[in-house]
A = this chain, B = another copy of it.
Amino acid sequence: MRPNERKFDELRPITINSEFITHPEGSVLITIGGTKVICNASIEERVPPFLRGQGKGWITAEYAMLPRATEQRNIRESSRGKVSGRTMEIQRLIGRALRAVVNLDKIGERTIWVDCDVIQADGGTRTASITGAFVAVVLALGKLIEQKAIAEMPITDYLAAISVGILPTGEAVLDLEYVEDAEAKVDMNIVMTGNHEFVELQGTGEEASFSYDELQEMLELGKKGIEDIFELQKNVLGDLAELIVKKEDKS
């Protein structure tokens, strides 16, 4: 049995609060079970050197955890003087995922900085970050539309992410919380667009491997979970949701 009598294909309670922090152009506090992430999107009126003069924009993401987001306190990366491999991997993933649904040609020479700061961690922080960051980015782009800096919403589709995995019992489950993740033999993160296409698929056997059939089972669970999340994103975005034209479903 999963903690809190959760079913194998059941998400933990999710909320997305868009009124927590006031300075950023877009900001949400996403909560999924015991995981809480502040996702801030900031608009900078310039692009990195490699893009200058091309009339095109950029999105980049940074990810961090407060030292005591976890059960045991972690050393702060600024104190260590360097960012860990895990952090780099995650922030590269978040940036790449967002770039797949934002039309960079239509945001002008601007950089969207996405900061995902985990203030409490209980599994699934990277997928929660992607899901929350998508909303923060749409809110920030909404500000640009409001200021008439851009004409239309440069988003090609919804974007959300969830984790799936295989427990030591061999059961495939949706949305692993920390105690499950720690002992799972396979851990997979799925990032999907509104039309059910994959943006990222990262499956990892932890000193283990997984079969073709197990893969199919996990993909099915993930698709189901992400559909629920799209609904929540839509509700939080309100009027802005109308501006996102979902692509035709290919699933």
Contact = CB atoms under 8 A, between A and B. Distances in A.
A23 B71 contact: yes
Given A62-B76, A73-B42, A89-B85, A96 B23 contact: no
Q: What's the dominant secondary structure at chain A's contact region? A: mixed
Interface in A61-84: 62, 64, 66-71, 73, 76-84
A203 interface: yes
B79 A81 contact: no
21 contacts: A21-B119, A23-B70, A23-B71, A27-B68, A40-B67, A62-B79, A66-B115, A73-B115, A78-B83, A81-B82, A82-B82, A85-B89, A86-B92, A89-B89, A100-B208, A117-B119, A193-B209, A196-B211, A196-B212, A199-B205, A201-B203
B200 A204 contact: yes
Given A198-B210, A209-B199, A68 B115 contact: yes
A100 B27 CA distance: 38
A207 interface: yes
A66 B88 contact: no
A201 B202 contact: yes
A96 B204 CA distance: 8
Of A44, A70, A157, A197, most buried by chain B (CB within 10 Å of CB) is A197
Contact of A91 (B66, B85, B119): B85
A24 B74 CA distance: 12
B23 A212 contact: no
B40 A207 contact: no
Contacts of A79: 62, 83
Contacts of A52: none
Contacts of A68: 21, 23-24, 27, 40, 42, 113, 115
Contact of A104 (B199, B207, B209): B207
Given A38-B119, A68-B40, A85-B89, A212 B219 contact: yes
Given A66-B117, A78-B78, 8 more contacts: A23-B69, A24-B68, A27-B68, A40-B67, A76-B115, A81-B82, A96-B204, A104-B207
